[in-house]
Structure 1
Amino acid sequence: MELQPKALYNLLRMNAEQDPSLKLQPWKIADYRAMNEETLFAELSALGFDLGRERFLEVAEQCDTPEQLTGYFVGEVDPEEEDRAYLLFFELWRRFVPERPSLSIFCDELDHHIRDFDRGEAINWNGFS
């Protein structure tokens, strides 16, 4: 069974929290939910994707999922670079296109709630946070 990119990086992040001795690149275990909009777009810009919220929403209108959106912007590149861009596009989709949640968004939300539960934090079961 192949892990989808977001699920893989959620797993890496949870494993790194349990075992801080794991040596992983910071972008692989970053908390993208905690980043502000400007930081997310700046990270994309550093990867060569210069766009703002308006352009993002323009393209998102034509896509059904964050994976499709990433495919629109990312051509043939190194798989790690594609994954790095995907994590940023995914978070922007989660924030700016909540009316069109995909299966990957749903699974990410479930992972987020599992992580909160494991930490003993309160969980809001009333929709996506």
Structure 2
Amino acid sequence: VKVGDYIRVDNDSLFPADLLLIASSEQQGMAYIETSNLDGETNLKIKQALDTTATMTSPESLSRFRAEITCEPPSRHVNEFNGNIEIDGVERHFGIDQLLLRGARLKNTAWIFGAVIYTGHDSKL
């Protein structure tokens, strides 16, 4: 897995890298995440894809998707994040609500599509 890849993560799987949530099996691109490996909290956190990407629910639509993602440099602050995604010349902001951290687990959501933004030593874990 390398920065810029699009990947699918299935229910009960750990995220292999820090990801931008593109779409999910749930309505409006919602995903439920367990972060007990990161912070000890067992309650599920809700993440939501941007409305411009949430409809990309098939591998075919994802394979045609082109965007430029810019992010802040890697940092240890797991509760803060800022980035931008440019789709068809329109730039949109995304933040912590769209960030899926390496080591967290997808729960109660059949699958998600994500864009890899940090891997290895650069990931927030």
Per the TM superposition, whether the score is higher than 0.5 is no
Name the structure with the higher strand share: 2
Higher Cα radius of gyration: 1
Q: Relative CO higher for 1 or 2, CA cutoff 8 Å, sep ≥ 6?
A: 2
Give me the TM-score of the superposition, normalised by structure 1.
Answer: 0.28
The structure that is helix-richer by fraction is 1
